[in-house]
Amino acid sequence: MSVHIEAKKGEIAETVLLPGDPMRAKWIAETFLENPTCYNDVRGMLGFTGTYQGKRISVQGTGMGIPSTLIYCHELITEYGVKNLIRVGSAGSYQEDVKIRDIVIAMAASTNSGLNTIRFNGADYASTASFELFQKAIEAAKQKGIPLKAGNILSSDEFYADKFESYKKWADYGVLCVEMETNGLYTVAAKHKVNALSILTISDSLVTGERTTADEREQTFKEMIEIALELA
């Protein structure tokens, strides 16, 4: 076992889907995988391995925010040999044409987190998606007739910002939406030369103030998972 994951070596697949919410991990495993078995319950951060169309695949909750995500991704890569890390999460829209329930692929992830500024001695690091996984996701979505948007996103350290208006600066520079994890995921994947991709569904809009209902979230979540499962 590693510090935060109690799986034995070999119990986690090379491709792992990463929802923030551990109960989402359970739902994904029970809804989409055959013969899912739970390999982790440390801190309630559930992880499962099963098969999808004959391919072995795992699902691991990461918790919220870059620090929590980095802990799980680091251990998955360095202790369990994971090669493809695919975040499946929700995000808030920054653009009028990025609508509730849209699916967005993060080609790059900007951040207001201090982690990379510290790591790179005050310089900025552009954290980007795996080209290979990105191409596969575009292809899978096309095959399934699921529309996608793709571009730069923001991984923010704060959910409740002091100044609501501060999102407009990012929006002006073309950032599509905000979540709280992808910049960390892309950075740790680059360091260890493995593949990472974030697929996000828009759950709320900072532009219009709308929010998805639980039913709507579940439906779009399904489409996002269907794309993610094709990347194994």
Applying CB under 6 A, does 67 fall inside the site for ligand ADE?
no
Amino acid, res. 98: V
Among 19, 47, 63, 92, binds ligand ADE (CB under 6 A): 92
| Under rule CB under 6 A, residue 14 binds ligand ADE | no
Residue 13, judged by CB atoms within 10 A of its CB (0-12, 13-18, 19+), counts as buried
**120 is an interface residue for ligand ADE by CB under 6 A:** no
Task: Compute the least distance from the CB of residue 106 to ligand ADE, in Å.
Answer: 12
**Window 134-193: residues binding ligand ADE (CB under 6 A):** 156, 159, 178-180
Helix (H) or strand (E) holding 132: helix 131-144
**Using CA atoms, how far apart are residues 28 and 228, in angstroms rounded to an integer?**
11
110: contact with ligand ADE by CB under 6 A: no
Q: Does 88 bind ligand ADE (CB under 6 A)?
A: no
Is residue 204 annotated as a catalytic residue, yes or no? yes
Nearest in space to 37 (alpha carbons), one of 71, 11, 8 = 11
Q: Which of 57, 91, 106, 231 binds ligand ADE (CB under 6 A)?
A: 91
Report the 10 Å Cβ neighbour count for 148.
Answer: 17
Q: Is the torsion defined by CA of 212, 231, 106, 193 positive or negative?
A: positive
Site residue total, ligand ADE (CB under 6 A) = 10
By beta-carbon proximity to ligand ADE, the closer residue of 40 and 203 is: 203
Return the number of other C-beta atoms located less than 10 Å from residue 139's C-beta. Answer: 13
CA separation for the pair 117, 134 (Å, rounded)? 26
Beta carbon of residue 181, minimum distance to ligand ADE (angstroms, whole number): 9
- Binding footprint of ligand ADE on the chain (CB under 6 A): 90-92, 156, 159, 178-180, 203-204
Please identify every residue annotated as catalytic. Answer: 204
